[in-house]
Amino acid sequence: MNLSEFFSENPKVAIAFSGGVDSAYLLCEAVKNGAEVCAYYVFSAFQPDFEREDARRIAFHLGAKMKELEVDVLCDPSISSNPPGRCYYCKKKILSKIISEAQKDGFTTVLDGTNASDLVSDRPGFKALGELKVLSPLRLCGLTKAMIRERSREAGLFTWNKGAYACLATRIPTGEEITEEKLECTEKAEAFLFSLGFKDFRVRYFNGYARIQVLQSDFNRLCDSREVINRELCKYYKGVLLDMEGRNEQ
């Protein structure tokens, strides 16, 4: 099956939309193939503001309808206590909200951007997709991350080379309580690194310290900026550490 065939069989769909590489391409294909589609963006304490702006921008670019919903994830102890299965509870809460709103709008088929490169067995959040009967057409059609990036580039989507981005809660170690303060510190620290030109990185919470992960190719640039980075991030953390293993290219 290809995406054209999928949307021929599913001409009216709602998309769980993040504004990232995968969901942006999925929305693009839905529009291109003439589907009646609405993108549902859920904003919570786990999403930085720039993600919402990217979602708005891509929906506007495609001429697609987008609805913004808000979910209070921190009010749920099964999420805020940050257990090993946190992603499952969070994903289920967010998707349930989208499904409820989509049904009110007349949409019975809900899609997400899981692709063929995603290791579903390693991500507890994907269990919620099956339970809630959310379809993943990119995965069903065998589209890998690399293929999606290339097709997005050809389609003129600015997201084609957007770095992989997981929610802010992933910066806090499992078992460590997630608080609004920790999330705000993470967002401010990462926004600062973005302002310096870094793109694929993480600022992780480690016993009150900021543990920075960048690509190995960015080590020298990071060290060249260590004084200004240390000065800024120490506003939010006890100190700054560098993860010498580095991040893998996504």
Mean pLDDT over residues 155-172, rounded?
92
List, by residue range, all CATH 3.30.70 domains of the chain: 179-242
Can you tell me the distance from the alpha carbon of 190 to that of 201, in angstroms, rounded to the nearest whole number?
8
List, by residue range, all CATH 3.40.50.620 domains of the chain: 3-161
Whether residue 249 has pLDDT greater than 70? no
Say if strands 209-214 and 201-206 run parallel, antiparallel, or are unpaired. Answer: antiparallel
Whether residue 238 has pLDDT greater than 80? yes
pTM: 0.90
CB 186 within 8 Å of CB 237: no
Residue 48 dihedral angles phi and psi, to the nearest 5°: -75, 160
pLDDT at 126: 83
pLDDT at 122: 63
Q: What angle, 0 to 180 degrees and rounded to 10, lies between the N-to-C axes of helices 21-32 and 49-62?
A: 20
Can you tell me the distance from the alpha carbon of 231 to that of 163, in angstroms, rounded to the nearest whole number?
26
What is 179-242's CATH number, 1.10.3470, 3.30.70, 2.60.40, 3.40.30? Answer: 3.30.70
The DSSP-derived string for the chain is: --HHHHHHH--EEEEE--SSHHHHHHHHHHHHTT-EEEEEEEE-TTS-HHHHHHHHHHHHHHT-EEEEEE--GGG-HHHHT--TTHHHHHHHHHHHHHHHHHHHTT---EE----TTS-GGG-TTHHHHHHTT-B-HHHHTT--HHHHHHHHHHTT-GGGGPPP---GGGGS-TTSPP-HHHHHHHHHHHHHHHHTT--SEEEEEETTEEEEEEBGGGHHHHHHTHHHHHHHHTTTSS-EEE-TT-BPP-
Whether residue 166 has pLDDT greater than 90? no
Residue 110 bridge partners (DSSP): 14
Q: pLDDT, tens digit, for every residue of 89-146?
A: 999 999 999 999 999 999 999 999 999 998 776 677 788 999 999 999 999 999 999 9
Whether residue 71 has pLDDT greater than 90? yes
pLDDT at 199: 86
For domain 3-161, the CATH class is: alpha beta
Can you tell me the distance from the alpha carbon of 73 to that of 44, in angstroms, rounded to the nearest whole number?
7
Q: pLDDT, tens digit, for every residue of 175-225?
A: 999 999 999 999 999 999 999 999 889 999 999 999 999 999 999 999 999
Going by pLDDT thresholds of 50, 70 and 90, the confidence category of residue 250 is: low
Q: pLDDT, tens digit, for every residue of 10-61?
A: 999 999 999 999 999 999 999 999 999 999 999 999 999 999 999 999 999 9
pLDDT at 30: 98
Q: Which residue type sits at 87?
A: C
